[in-house]
Structure formats: structure tokens, C-alpha cells
Chain A
Amino acid sequence: MRDVFVEIWESVRRNKLRTCLTGFAVAWGIFMLIVLLGAGNGIMNMAQGNMEGLNVHSMEVYGSTTSKPYGGFKQGRRIELDESDIRLTAGPAFTDHIDEVTAILSQSGFKMTYGKRYFDVGMTGVYPDYAGQNQMQILAGRFVNKSDIDNLRKVIVITHMQARNFLGGKENYDSLIGQRVKIGNLSFKIVGVRHAAENENDSELYIPYTTLRGIFAKSNKIDMLSFTFHGLETEEDNEAFEKEYRQIMNRYHGAAPDDERAIWIFNNFTMNMQMDKGRHILEVFLWVIGIFTLLSGIVGVSNIMLITVKERTHEFGIRKAIGAGPWSVMKLIIAESVSITAFFGYIGMVLGMIACEVLDSTVGSNPIEVLGESITIMQDPSVGLNVAVEATLLLIIAGTLAGLIPASKAAKVKPIEALRAE
């Protein structure tokens, strides 16, 4: 192995300039590939930001409006979910796939008071999963937990904007945990402060579902039910399950079994799958562009190697005359080609990764103002270790391909060449 590298070094040393020029093309190709993939990742990370940390094996079900007349009812009838739907969903019909069923219930028109400050608010009764499913950011304290649900505790999670207001503009949210607020004439304990999107009018308070249901609800209606499931790994499985679920739910609510509008199902899993598919397509697209950029570099290497073989024909003749087999000569050329490609490719890869870092610290961390809204174009534009490994493999394969034609030319050199005078 060492001998091979000594030979390569001897050859490269004699042709520094042209090796570097060729190497530049390879480095440029792989640099572009890494930057493209990094930027692509950044954009996808941004788009996918909301989906992150989401319990993907879950669906949400909402009541909607029928689109077909059925069972004596006209179309356009409003379907409302209530607690019997929770029992039905959790019931024997779906035990094969459905694990846990939760629901949320919202009510508005409350007044929350803390000292002299007050807000007009709506409240949503939730189960503990809700935080994870909606990627809620808890800034202080905790979210609603199971014990709150079981004990119908009067606990509440407020937004950071409300908290800031309560604290008179300060942000030491921790000091609010354990404090009490008044809702109507009931006292609630603050257990958590969550982050709310500042530009959306998000001021919803979260309390345990059972508390809201027990204290305020006038009926058994629910706004949404959600459940986690297992054993549905393909899109077809999910579609089949959704169809079956829809049939049973529709029939229960007196709607046509094949009415796809009566209830509305939001499947986080297939949604995520489609996001992944989109990401994959983008990635393939970027790889293709990157590889084509790299290709010009590879052609350059191949070209240089052809010239090298031409120049060294006499030398190869001598080597063959004194006992070099065709493979040993081929190996020399391929190894040189791979070395040049890998060395310069590696430089390009490192520079590409540095460029991604620069991108991250400029575009990535500075939101730009578009029509009064601040938008971050990229989030964490970088490539993972797997891409680095793939790119390395790509370089080795590319180097081998680049060396293949020149190497077979070298292997075909006749040993009689050695006898020709230079």
C-alpha cells in the first residue's frame, strides 16, 4: 500500500500545476453539492419545523358538514362530536390499531384576573399529550399532567405574553409558577408558562380536560378528538384504516358511510410521510445537480489521467518488460485518480461545510422582513455525517470511474514499447 502511495506521490509531484487545476474542478463540484444539500436541509428544516417532535402515529378527528343526503337527512348537516365518540373510538371496533384516545374542548368568554390586570380569554381543556402533539414550548413550570386530569385539578398554563404582562414587562416567568389567577370566580393555580406565537392572536389557556368538562361544560360536545395508533406503517394501511373509521363514525352519526366530508381526519403520520417524500424529492434533485457539477470535475480528472498515461507509455513498457502485470499498471492509474479525486474532494467538502456554517450564522439566524412579517428562510443549514460519508463514497466511485478508461489504456501498453528508443 505504501509503495502505491509513493508511486502516486512521485507522479503527482512531477505535475503539480495541472493536478491542482484539475483538483480544483473536483473540489468545486463537491463544494457545490455540500452547499446545495446544506441549503436544502435548511429550507426543509424550516418548513418541517412545526412537525418536529410530533407524535407522528396520531390522528385528529373533527366534526364537519355532510356532503351527501343520507337516512332522511339533507346534505349540509353539521356533524358534532361528543363524548360518545371517544368511547366509540376507544371501543372494540378499533382496538387493533388505536391505543389512546384523548379529546379537547374549548370554551371562550372568560375573564382572567391577576391582581389588577385582566384578560379576556378562551380556555381549552386538554390531555397531557396535547403539548407534544402541538410542539408546545414550555418556558417555565410544566404542562397539564395525568394527575391533573385524574383529580380534576384547577391548574392552568398561560402564555408568555400574559405572564410578561402580569410581571409588568419582566420575564422571570418562574416566579409566577404556583401563583393563582381568577377565572370568573374560581381560583386556578398557574403550573406553566408556554411560548405563544407573537404575531398570531394566540392567547388560549390550557387546563385539564376533565376540569373544563366538569366545571364549565354545559353539554357533552367535544371540539376534537385525537388518538395514537400502531400497526399502520404504509400509506395504503392508513387509507384503509381511515376509510373504515370514517364508515363507522359516519354510520354512528347518521351520515352516508362513504361521505368524506362528514368528519374531517387529520393524519399526522401520513402528513409526515408526505413531508418526508417531499424532502426526499428535493434531496434527490439537489444530489443530481451536485453530481452533474461534480461530473465536469471528474471528466477533468479522467482527461488528465489520459495525458499521464500517454506520457508514461514508455515507462509502463519498461515496467511490463521487467514483470509488471496489466493489473498492477491499472492499479497505479486508478489509485492515482482516486487519490486526486478524494484529496481535492475532501478539501471541497470541508469548505462546503464551512460555507454551510457561514450560511447558518448569516441567513439562518437573521430573519428577513417581508411585508412586515419576519421570516427565517433557513434553519440549521448543514449536512449530516451520513452525507459526508455518502459524498466520500461518491468521490471514491467517481475517482475510480475517472481512472477506468485511462487505466485500461495503460494496461494495454505493450511491453515492446520498452524497446523503442525514447
Chain B
Amino acid sequence: MLIELKDVNKTYNNGQPLHVLKGIDLSIDEGEFVSIMGASGSGKSTLLNILGILDNYDTGEYWLDGRLIKDLSERQAADYRNRMIGFIFQSFNLIGFKTAVENVELPLFYQGVSRHKRHMIAMEYLERLGLKDWSTHYPNEMSGGQKQRVAIARALITHPRIILADEPTGALDSKTSVEVMDLLGQLNREEKVTLIVVTHESGVANCTDKIIHIKDGVIGEVEMNAQHNASAFGTSTIMK
């Protein structure tokens, strides 16, 4: 198993203690295309933070690629994030004063890759995502779909073990959303990238092969969805 969560609990202590994750057991295998679905407040964002080593959990175990992710130092956590996890965010999170190619390069910069080499690799990825001509453009000169593709290139560049997408279509119109989800599906099929999409949209979840429902901090139903017909809302579109 690439990812294994055993009885993971997380409580926020802001005044009133809030038990957000109540014993999550979850395993995801290499090459899977999974969505984690839940309403807001269900704990899916917290789960994503823990999966992405952005936040700590209180009890339980989180194994990523055979390594126990627990009580890491900040530096170590940063290093694991850099090498094992690629992030795709709802609001793209590109750095505004850097060009597309500089944004894509950034994870390699933190790996200490030389300027010349990382520029070459970044150009390669931009080309694969059809953005070669946009490499010297700044994010505010690009459309939402283009920005998200730059972000995907940035997530892919380090060959991470998993890619975590947090509402990847949340800021996109439905046509672009379909394109982005198709792109993710394609990456999963052709490059065997392990993808975890966190969403509250059933249409988005339907694009994935496995839907994990989370509700009130516990894993509910796990739906196998190889045929992409899980949702009542359309098999061929993403409802907004």
C-alpha cells in the first residue's frame, strides 16, 4: 500500500475542543485515482492536510510509501512534501511575480537542482501540458485553465509518489473543469500517477475510479467507480 492510515484522530483545540477526525482508516494503492468526498465541515480538508503533511495528527499512524509520517521536524516535513507529494490547489497558488516556467521550477529549486537543469525540465513539462508558448507569461496573463495546468506541471515536476488535488476545479468554469479532470485522468492512466482529489462536487468525484465518502470525521461508504457512473448528476458532465 502506498498510503495507509490507521485510526487517525485529530482534535482542534481552539477554545472548544473540536474532534474533527474520529479514527480514520484508509488505504490507497499505487496508481489509484481516488476522490475524497464530503460536505464542508466533514473533515475532508483536515484529512487532506494530514495526507499532505501540512498538519499533524494526534493519534494513530500514517504510513506513506513505507515511511511513518509522525512528529517530523519542519525541515523534514518540507523535504517529504517536496519529494513525495505534489499539490494542486483550488486557487492555483502560483506565485504572482514569477513566470509560468519559474513557478514550475520552484520545487526543483528546493531540491537544489541547478538553474539550467531545472529550467530545462520545467520547459519539458510545460510543453507536455501544451503551455510552451506561455512559459514566460505571468499567472495574471493566463486563463484559469492555463493556470491550473501550470500548477499541475509544478506538481508533477518532482515525480511525487502522490498528487493531492484540493478542489482542483473549484475556480474553473464547467468546460475547463472537464478539461482539467480529463487531464488528471489521462495522467493517471498513462503515467500511473497516484491521484487523490478532494472535492464536494459529485461530478468531479465521478471522474475518479474510487470515491471515498467522509462524513462527520469518519469514513463512510467507499464506492468503486471504474465505470464513472456513480453520480445521479450526469455521467458526462460536471455539475456546477
The chain B residue with its CB closest to the CB of A318 is B93
A-facing residues in B27-76 (Cβ within 8 Å) = 45, 48-49, 52, 54-55, 74-75
Q: Assess A418 versus B83: contact at CB under 8 Å? Given A324-B78, A328-B110.
A: no
A2 within 8 A of B: yes
Do B93 and A323 have beta carbons less than 8 Å apart? no
Across-interface contacts of A320 in B (CB, < 8 A)? 78, 81
B82 within 8 A of A: yes
Do B115 and A325 have beta carbons less than 8 Å apart? no
Main secondary structure on chain A at its contact with chain B? helix
Interface string of A395-422 (1 = CB under 8 A from B): 0000000000000000000111011011
B-facing residues in A341-379 (Cβ within 8 Å) = none
Across-interface contacts of B54 in A (CB, < 8 A)? 321, 414-416, 418-419
Min Cβ gap B115→A in Å is 7
Do A323 and B79 have beta carbons less than 8 Å apart? yes
A326 within 8 A of B: yes
> In the complex the two chains form, what is the Cα distance from A318 to B106 in whole Å?
10
The chain A residue with its CB closest to the CB of B45 is A419
Across-interface contacts of A14 in B (CB, < 8 A)? 97
B154 within 8 A of A: yes
Do A322 and B55 have beta carbons less than 8 Å apart? no
Chain A interface residue number, banded: 20 to 34
Q: Assess A421 versus B110: contact at CB under 8 Å? Given A3-B115, A416-B54.
A: no
Interface string of B104-136 (1 = CB under 8 A from A): 001101110001000000000000000000000
A96 within 8 A of B: no
B4 within 8 A of A: no
Do A323 and B83 have beta carbons less than 8 Å apart? yes
> In the complex the two chains form, what is the Cα distance from A324 to B79 in whole Å?
8
Do A322 and B110 have beta carbons less than 8 Å apart? yes
Min Cβ gap B46→A in Å is 10
> In the complex the two chains form, what is the Cα distance from A315 to B91 in whole Å?
12
Do A327 and B83 have beta carbons less than 8 Å apart? no
Across-interface contacts of A318 in B (CB, < 8 A)? 93, 95
Of the candidates A2, A11, A327, A418, the one whose C-beta lies within 8 Å of that of B93 is A418
B98 within 8 A of A: yes
Across-interface contacts of B98 in A (CB, < 8 A)? 10
> In the complex the two chains form, what is the Cα distance from A328 to B78 in whole Å?
11
A182 within 8 A of B: no
Across-interface contacts of A326 in B (CB, < 8 A)? 74-75, 78
Chain B interface residue count, Cβ-Cβ cutoff 8 angstroms: 32
Do A327 and B106 have beta carbons less than 8 Å apart? no
Across-interface contacts of A327 in B (CB, < 8 A)? 75
Do B82 and A323 have beta carbons less than 8 Å apart? yes
Interface string of B3-21 (1 = CB under 8 A from A): 0000000000000000000
Do A324 and B115 have beta carbons less than 8 Å apart? no
The chain B residue with its CB closest to the CB of A320 is B78
Q: Assess A325 versus B87: contact at CB under 8 Å? Given A2-B115, A10-B97, A415-B54.
A: no
Min Cβ gap B64→A in Å is 15
Do A321 and B87 have beta carbons less than 8 Å apart? yes
Indicate the member of B49, B74, B158 with the most A CB atoms within 10 Å: B74
Q: Assess A322 versus B75: contact at CB under 8 Å? Given A315-B95, A328-B110, A415-B54.
A: no
The chain A residue with its CB closest to the CB of B84 is A323
Do B81 and A321 have beta carbons less than 8 Å apart? yes
The chain B residue with its CB closest to the CB of A2 is B115
A319 within 8 A of B: yes
The chain B residue with its CB closest to the CB of A10 is B97
Interface string of A6-34 (1 = CB under 8 A from B): 00001100100000000000000000000
10 tightest CB-CB pairs across the interface, nearest first? A323-B82, A323-B110, A325-B78, A325-B75, A318-B93, A415-B54, A322-B107, A326-B74, A416-B54, A421-B91
Complex A-B: 29 CB contacts under 8 Å: A3-B109, A10-B97, A11-B97, A315-B96, A319-B110, A320-B78, A321-B54, A321-B81, A322-B87, A322-B106, A322-B107, A323-B78, A323-B83, A323-B107, A323-B158, A324-B78, A324-B110, A325-B75, A326-B74, A415-B78, A416-B49, A416-B54, A416-B55, A418-B93, A419-B45, A419-B48, A419-B54, A419-B89, A421-B90
9 further A-B pairs in the complex, CB-CB below 8 A; given A3-B115, A14-B97: A315-B96, A319-B106, A320-B78, A322-B154, A325-B74, A325-B110, A416-B55, A418-B89, A419-B49
